[in-house]
Amino acid sequence: MKFRITHITRYEYQLPVSLCHNLVYQVPVNHSFQQVDKVNYNIQPAPHFLATREDFFSNKFIYFSIEEFHKNLSVEIKSEVEVTEPVWINTVPKNTMPWEDVAIWLRSSGAGSDIKQFYLESPHISFIPGVKEYALESFTPGRPIMEAMLHLNSRIYNDFDFTPGFTDISTKLEDVFLYRKGVCQDFAHFSLACLRSIGLSARYVSGYIETLPPPGKPKLFGSDASHAWIALYIPGVGWVEFDATNNMLVNTLHIRTAVGRDFADVAPLKGIVYSGAGQRMYVNVDVSRV
Amino acid sequence: MIEEYLLQGRNTAKPSFDELAAPGGLVRDHWKKLAHAYDELGLDKMEQRSREISQELRDNGVTYNVYSDPDGINRPWKLDPVPMVFSQQEWEHIEKGLKQRAELLNLILADIYGERKLISEGFIPFDLVFSHKGFLRQADKVKVPGKFQLLQYSADLVRGPLGKMWVLHDRTDAPSGAGYTLENRAAMTRVFPDLIRENQVRKISSYYQTLKNTLTRLSLQNKENPRVVLLSPGTANETYFEHAYLASSLGFTLAFGQDLTVSDGYVWLKTLRGLEKVDVIVRRVDDVFCDPLEFMGDSHLGVVGLMEAVRQKKVTIINPLGCRILENPGLMAFLPRLCRRLLNEELILPSVATWWCGQEKEKRYVLDNLPFLIVRSIYRSNENRPYIGSELSKKQIEDLKKEINTRPYLYVAQEVVSFSTTPSLIGNNLEACNAIFRSYIVADMEKQEYHVMPGGLSRSFPTKGEFIISNQSGGISKDTWVLGPSPRNESVAPVNQPVLRQLKNVLPSRTGESLFWLGRYLDRAISNVRMMRIVLKIYNERDDEVHPETNQTLVILLKSLSALTGTLPGFTAIDQLKLRQPEQELLSLAVETARAGTLAQSLQSFLSNGYAVRDRLSLDTWRILDSISEEFELMKENGKDLGKIYHNLDQFIIKLMAFIGLNNDNMTRASSWRLLNIGRFLESSVNTCTLLQAALANNVAPDVEKQLMELVLMCNESLVTYRYLYRSTLQMQGVINLLLVNEDNPKSVAFLISKVDEHLAHLHNGQPDGGLSPAQKKLLEALTMIRLCDLSQLMASGNKKELSDLLGRLIVLLGEASTFIFENFFSPTQSQYSFVKSNNSLPEL
């Protein structure tokens, strides 16, 4: 499947901004099941300084600064990405390892720190009371890890309401759990908290999902902005991706831009501006088949 | 004295190691000379020396701040006259051990941010590093060129019961105290010069010289004449004194985050004359506060884009961001093995026995022995206070056990060490106190090895058994004496050192701004004090309650005071309540710190701006600032007694004038001096206009007018000049001429304005577009108005309205000039915003 993605972020400032420094995590990267053909970016006003870097998790990011007065900032990233069917589509869930064995293996010297690091707590993910118990309802003793995960995925989908505007990135996981409401990043964070609290390695994936549904199919959640889901490490298969917001095993509709411990590692656009007043932000994402 | 001390030691139930007393009640060899000298001196003289030390430190303005305490700003630094002493032989061992430990930590650091082989090979557990907040992923693979990644290092050492030195903490982020150490030594040298000489106490200056050499060599871009800045979190920081002190004694620029900016990938210092490139940053700001873009988004102490500048190798930061991972006490448990693996040596200095709970066996031991251990988080912060097992309740122990079981890798437990004791002068007695010693180590780029300061900062604690030790929780500092001759190779040869060249103007804009305000508040305080003295004098002469109808002079003075202090309506209020009973308002105008315009507020702003530019003021000037601060405290204590406050006012005048005198005497005629004076003269000119307008531009009876003229002249310190010039009775035209027009009178508005203009012209000198700046244009307009005004005509009508209008116009022009000066030289105040903003609260369920 080949997609063309356009991601536009616009900031309007009440008063002119004299200086801004930004980090952009919106550049799709090559991945086992994803080939990036083209990336173009257009930042207005033109940055004084721009550098493309690779971070600790091998994501690509752009650092740029604008050092003249401006009232608007627009960051536009266009890319063409070809997505192929991931290997886990052919994995039979009930043939995967019992989840406890995975947890034990993760603590052995057989697992490298590149995998282990994702079972620890992180800025947005902590072992809050109740989450482990919630997870254990799906992760029953001896259950194959992928089967249990699919079960957890659909429970989260059913138990939580997709409610844009209810939460933002500073909302605590405790509150997401309490109110059972949120958007894709909350669903992803909650999934991660469940998995890490029972000792499994799971990471945050940010990216996009197809915007215009094929005829006759419903439009998917998270399609008008950047999307987020998770990847669980399953020995023998690798990082397997699950989207709790849409209750699905990720196939060819998702395009990845970055992975990290949680949102904090891969926020699509981070910035510090110097200004006398506030700002408004508009995000526009379009994903269409080529 | 020593005999009693030894006796005391023999009588204590629990025998522990004492620095001075050997078992059997004998004095240890390396203490003998000193013990003898103390006996000769006797306790009374020791106490006197102790007071001399306190005086010396107070005179030098050595202070520290305590965060949690509102009165905790500028606490005097305390120094015990009895030092911590190390023999030559023991020091050789400690020095060797510290060098080895620095080498070892340096290699570990390079590996953690490099290949991480020590983790994959199992020498360091993965979660010990990855769960530590000091492991900055943004700093991964970012290297300082050369072998040293750890450039500065401090270890806190204690002596165990058997006399062995143990490392209690490793400090690798931004270790503090080297400035206090220097001040301690200076004070000790002043008070005990003979003891220092006779005992062959090693000099510590080599450390600072090495530090300076290293910093100048670390510049990646500009090798010739690198600019080094010391990045301080600001005046409220615990050790701000030391930041200012180290910066000025090492010759670096003191900067706050807001003084620096990243542009084109470089770091720049915002100075009065524009941006100056920065090559090396010595940071006293904690790692994650250094760059809000990449670390803590809400930090205002850092510089946005700093991490990117480091990545691009445009600037070097000391210590590099990420070094805090080494402060992880969990590492201590693994150091002996790491030392064998990396250096092929046994670890010379052991750490305090440490169990990292990330290991199953260790965790079980800790859980079983909690009441006898101290549990710490592997990440040191103000929120993560250590748990002292013996002080926990049953419930607390259970909670702690649960927490350790949930996140075992985040905790270590350490043995409760009983430290050695060392004699300390407490009151008038020599007592055995627990002591801890902080060492200072810096990479010597010349010799390619670590340099250990032969000395350091020791602290002693009156409460025995106290385990948690920091400046914040009290304790008295001690100088640390290493005895014996200096090794021959110690003198730091200034080989290849860049020639000392005068750097051109390096006044950060923020410092310039503080100097400007320092000047303004200085003269505001002076005019407030003078006016208040006059008012109080007249007020005290009245018989009873103030009658607005009959006490016309006093009424006008009170109203003028409200105008001058900008606290309107105050005494000008229509209800006249305050006029009839002025005492409350007068007290408020003197001591109420929170009210804008009061004397207290002016003094406080004066002091805080002075404090912010500490590094620019001479030692004697600090002393005056400190004595003004003391007088200020006295005045606040006198809060309800106008009589006593009157006395404080007299003292303020003397001290504020001394401040002016000293600065005129010893400040170089550079931008800083000019800005201070621009502030002063601008303030003074506005105040004089305000006073003339309020006190003299009224239509009143001739006798009242005469009295007012005399008082205004007194207030302006110009009465004598007037009498000398005019030799006649007071006449309005003469008074206005003297105070407004006469450019030979240094108190006249015209003189003050021309001075402001002169200083401005110097500051503008060298700026591209010649001509007058907007501020200068306003000043010229004001000056011309004064020069052109025809006083006899102005006075002829007998009506004071024209005079009042003229003065009003001048005040407006001067205000506009001030605004232009501000915009011209200082960065406009802009807030720093993060894109990610926090949420409004959630609804009730």
Summarised one tens digit per residue, pLDDT across range B542-568 is 877 778 888 899 999 999 999 999 998
Neighbouring residues of B477: CB distance < 8 A, sequence distance ≥ 6: B77, B78, B79, B80, B180, B184, B457, B458, B459
Q: Phi/psi at A223 (nearest 5 deg)?
A: -85, -15
| pLDDT score at B726 | 87
What's the mean pLDDT in A83-97? 96
Which chain B residue is nearest to residue A179, measuring alpha carbons?
A: B845
| pLDDT score at B254 | 92
Q: Kindly compute the dihedral angle of the four CA atoms of residues A34, A37, A42, A46, in this order, to the nearest 10 degrees.
A: 100
Whether A171 and A244 map to the same domain: the answer is yes
Rounded to a whole number of angstroms, the distance from the CA of A144 to the nearest CA of chain B is 24
Whether A136 and A249 map to the same domain: the answer is yes
Residue A123 to residue B84: CA distance in whole angstroms: 43
Evaluate if residue B515 carries a pLDDT over 80: yes
The total number of residues shown for chain A amounts to 290
Residue B739 to residue B755: CA distance in whole angstroms: 15
Whether A243 and A190 map to the same domain: the answer is yes
Q: Which DSSP letter does residue B502 get?
A: P
Cis before residue B319, ω within 30 degrees of 0? yes
As beta bridge partners, residue A80 has: A4, A38
SS3 of residue A68 by DSSP? coil
Q: Which residues of B touch A270 (CB under 8 A)?
A: 293, 297, 834-836
Does residue B46 contact residue B81 with C-beta atoms inside 8 Å?
A: yes
| pLDDT score at B838 | 38
Of the residues A65, A70, A175, A185, the best mutation for testing chain B's interface (the one with the most B CB atoms within 10 Å of its CB) is: A65
Does residue B176 contact residue B460 with C-beta atoms inside 8 Å?
A: no
Of the residues B126, B509, B844, the best mutation for testing chain A's interface (the one with the most A CB atoms within 10 Å of its CB) is: B126
Domains of chain B: 54-352+417-483 (no CATH), 353-416 (3.30.1490.270), 508-666 (no CATH), 680-828 (no CATH)
Does residue B65 contact residue B75 with C-beta atoms inside 8 Å?
A: yes
Rounded to a whole number of angstroms, the distance from the CA of B845 to the nearest CA of chain A is 8
Of the residues B258, B509, B835, B844, the best mutation for testing chain A's interface (the one with the most A CB atoms within 10 Å of its CB) is: B835
Evaluate if residue B1 carries a pLDDT over 90: no
Residue B24 to residue B326: CA distance in whole angstroms: 41
Whether A176 and A202 map to the same domain: the answer is yes
CB atoms within 10 A of CB B774: 14
| pLDDT score at A169 | 79
Give the global pTM.
0.86
Cis before residue B23, ω within 30 degrees of 0? no
Cα–Cα distances (Å) from B620 to B185, B626, B666, in that order, read: 19, 10, 10
HEC profile of B39-95: HHHHHHHHHHHHHHHHHHHHHCCCEECCCCCCCCCCEECCEEEEEEEECHHHHHHHH
| pLDDT score at B72 | 61
Summarised one tens digit per residue, pLDDT across range B42-62 is 999 999 999 999 988 887 878
Q: Phi/psi at A61 (nearest 5 deg)?
A: -140, 160
What's the mean pLDDT in A174-190? 94
Structure ipTM: 0.94
CATH code (residue A258): 3.10.620.30
Residue B105 to residue B121: CA distance in whole angstroms: 17
Task: Test A179 with B842 for CB contact under 8 angstroms.
Answer: yes
| pLDDT score at B470 | 46
Task: Test B130 with A117 for CB contact under 8 angstroms.
Answer: yes
Q: Which residues of B touch A121 (CB under 8 A)?
A: 131, 407
Q: Which residues of A touch B305 (CB under 8 A)?
A: 21, 63, 65
| Of A200, A91, A111, residue with least CA distance to A152 | A200
User: Most confidently modeled of A20-29, A90-99, B227-236, B458-467?
Assistant: A90-99
As beta bridge partners, residue B478 has: B80, B458
| pLDDT score at B499 | 42
| pLDDT score at B463 | 57
Residue B818 to residue B516: CA distance in whole angstroms: 10
CATH code (residue A58): 2.60.40.2250
| pLDDT score at B128 | 96
What's the mean pLDDT in B585-610? 93
Residue B402 to residue A129: CA distance in whole angstroms: 12
Summarised one tens digit per residue, pLDDT across range B695-728 is 999 888 889 999 999 999 999 999 999 998 888 7
What's the mean pLDDT in B738-746? 94
Q: Kindly compute the dihedral angle of the four CA atoms of residues B722, B728, B734, B736, in this order, to the nearest 10 degrees.
A: 60
Q: Which DSSP letter does residue B508 get?
A: B
Query: How many independent structural domains does chain A possess?
Result: 2
Task: Test A113 with B130 for CB contact under 8 angstroms.
Answer: yes
Task: Test A275 with B830 for CB contact under 8 angstroms.
Answer: yes
Residue B510 to residue B302: CA distance in whole angstroms: 15
Whether A228 and A216 map to the same domain: the answer is yes
Q: Phi/psi at B672 (nearest 5 deg)?
A: -65, -45
| pLDDT score at B844 | 44
Q: B187-196: string of b/e by CB count within 10 Å (b at 16+)? A: bbbebbeebb
> Which range (A52-56, B87-91, B233-237, B781-785) has the least confidence?
B233-237
Summarised one tens digit per residue, pLDDT across range B196-224 is 999 999 999 999 999 999 999 998 877 77
Of the residues B833, B837, B841, B845, the best mutation for testing chain A's interface (the one with the most A CB atoms within 10 Å of its CB) is: B833
Task: Test A272 with B407 for CB contact under 8 angstroms.
Answer: no
Give the CB-side neighbour count of residue B158, counting CA atoms within 13 A.
28
Question: Across the A/B interface, how many CB contacts are shorter than 8 Å?
Answer: 106
Summarised one tens digit per residue, pLDDT across range B581-591 is 899 999 999 99
Evaluate if residue B80 carries a pLDDT over 90: yes
Q: Which residues of A touch B831 (CB under 8 A)?
A: 274-276
What's the mean pLDDT in B820-839? 67
Whether A45 and A102 map to the same domain: the answer is no
Evaluate if residue B269 carries a pLDDT over 60: yes
Average pLDDT, chain B: 89
Evaluate if residue B689 carries a pLDDT over 70: yes
Whether A134 and A194 map to the same domain: the answer is yes
Taking a contact as any Cβ pair under 8 Å apart, which residues of chain B between 267 and 326 contact chain A?
Answer: 292-294, 297, 304-305, 308, 311-312
> Which range (B474-483, B614-623, B751-760) has the least confidence?
B614-623
| pLDDT score at B799 | 80
Whether A78 and A34 map to the same domain: the answer is yes
The total number of residues shown for chain B amounts to 845
Q: Is B819 on the interface with A (CB under 8 A)?
A: no
Evaluate if residue B837 carries a pLDDT over 70: no
Q: Phi/psi at B32 (nearest 5 deg)?
A: -60, -50
Q: How far is CA B564 from the centre of its chain?
A: 32
User: Most confidently modeled of A14-28, A160-174, B319-333, B758-772?
Assistant: B319-333
Task: Test B116 with A113 for CB contact under 8 angstroms.
Answer: yes
> Which range (B88-97, B302-311, B348-357, B499-508) has the least confidence?
B499-508
Q: Band the pLDDT of B836: cuts 50, 70, 90.
A: low
Whether A199 and A272 map to the same domain: the answer is no
Q: Where are the alpha helices (DSSP H) in B424-567?
A: 509-541, 552-565
Evaluate if residue B314 carries a pLDDT over 70: yes
As beta bridge partners, residue A283 has: A9
Whether A235 and A273 map to the same domain: the answer is no
Q: Band the pLDDT of B340: cuts 50, 70, 90.
A: very high
| pLDDT score at B493 | 46
Selected residue with higher pLDDT from B486 and B723: B723
Residue A218 to residue A157: CA distance in whole angstroms: 16
Partner residue facing A276 (CB), from B138, B263, B831: B831
| Of A93, A132, A120, residue with least CA distance to A202 | A120
SS3 content of chain B, % helix, strand, coil (to 5): 50, 15, 35
Rounded to a whole number of angstroms, the distance from the CA of B137 to the nearest CA of chain A is 6
Q: Give the domain range for residue A27.
A: 2-83+267-289
| pLDDT score at B71 | 58
Q: Which residues of A touch B116 (CB under 8 A)?
A: 113
What's the mean pLDDT in B264-281? 90
Evaluate if residue B526 carries a pLDDT over 60: yes
Tokens 């069917």, located at residue: A85
Evaluate if residue B364 carries a pLDDT over 50: yes
Average pLDDT, chain A: 92
Residue B408 to residue A197: CA distance in whole angstroms: 13
Whether A42 and A180 map to the same domain: the answer is no
Whether A75 and A131 map to the same domain: the answer is no
Rounded to a whole number of angstroms, the distance from the CA of A276 to the nearest CA of chain B is 5
Where residue B484 falls (left for φ over 0; alpha for ψ -120 to 50; beta otherwise) is left
Evaluate if residue B495 carries a pLDDT over 60: no
Selected residue with higher pLDDT from B426 and B377: B377
| Of B814, B826, B672, residue with least CA distance to B756 | B814
Does residue A200 contact residue A239 with C-beta atoms inside 8 Å?
A: no
Task: Test A270 with B407 for CB contact under 8 angstroms.
Answer: no
Residue A230 to residue A122: CA distance in whole angstroms: 14
Evaluate if residue A224 carries a pLDDT over 80: no
Which chain A residue is nearest to residue B306, measuring alpha carbons?
A: A21
Q: Which residues of A touch B266 (CB under 8 A)?
A: none
| pLDDT score at B62 | 85
Percent of chain B with pLDDT over 70: 92
Rounded to a whole number of angstroms, the distance from the CA of A214 to the nearest CA of chain B is 34
Task: Test B835 with A269 for CB contact under 8 angstroms.
Answer: yes
Residue B499 to residue B497: CA distance in whole angstroms: 6
Evaluate if residue B464 carries a pLDDT over 70: no
Q: Band the pLDDT of B465: cuts 50, 70, 90.
A: very low
Rounded to a whole number of angstroms, the distance from the CA of A69 to the nearest CA of chain B is 13
Q: Which residues of B touch A127 (CB under 8 A)?
A: 406-407
Summarised one tens digit per residue, pLDDT across range B129-171 is 999 999 999 999 999 999 999 999 999 999 988 889 999 999 9
Residue A146 to residue A91: CA distance in whole angstroms: 9
Rounded to a whole number of angstroms, the distance from the CA of B535 to the nearest CA of chain A is 42
Helices B552-565 and B509-541 meet at what angle, rounded to 10? 170
